Amino acid sequence: MAKVQCLRCGEERDGLDSPPFNNDLGQKIFENSCAECWKAWVSQQLMLMNEYRLDPMNDEHSAYLDREMIKFLGLN
């Protein structure tokens, strides 16, 4: 597992095993987010989905989750 300089926590930590998505955003997450912060995002995403009753198959909900993920991980 390669080390990355995480944009969210600012530390050099173990990165992800592979990009979480097969697109440019997935590659950006892979290159700039540590595994620990990604795990924290997954928990945050679940909380948002439950609290706001979001369906990731809904395009509006998915776009909202993407925006929140970018903010959470410091990718903006």
Q: Find out whether 40 and 68 touch, Cβ atoms under 8 Å.
A: no
- Strand ranges in the chain using DSSP code E only, listed in sequence order: 3-5, 12-14
The string of pLDDT tens digits covering residues 53-69 is 999 999 999 999 999 99
User: H helices of the chain, where?
Assistant: 24-32, 35-52, 59-73
- Strand 3-5 versus strand 12-14 pairing type: antiparallel
Task: Inform me whether the pLDDT recorded for 1 exceeds 90.
Answer: no
Q: Which pLDDT does position 70 carry in this prediction?
A: 98
| Tens digits of residue pLDDT in 6-35 | 999 999 999 999 999 999 999 999 999 999
> Quick one: average pLDDT of 25-50?
98
The yes or no reply on domain 3-73 and CATH 1.10.3880.10 is: yes
β-bridge mates for residue 13, sequence order: 4
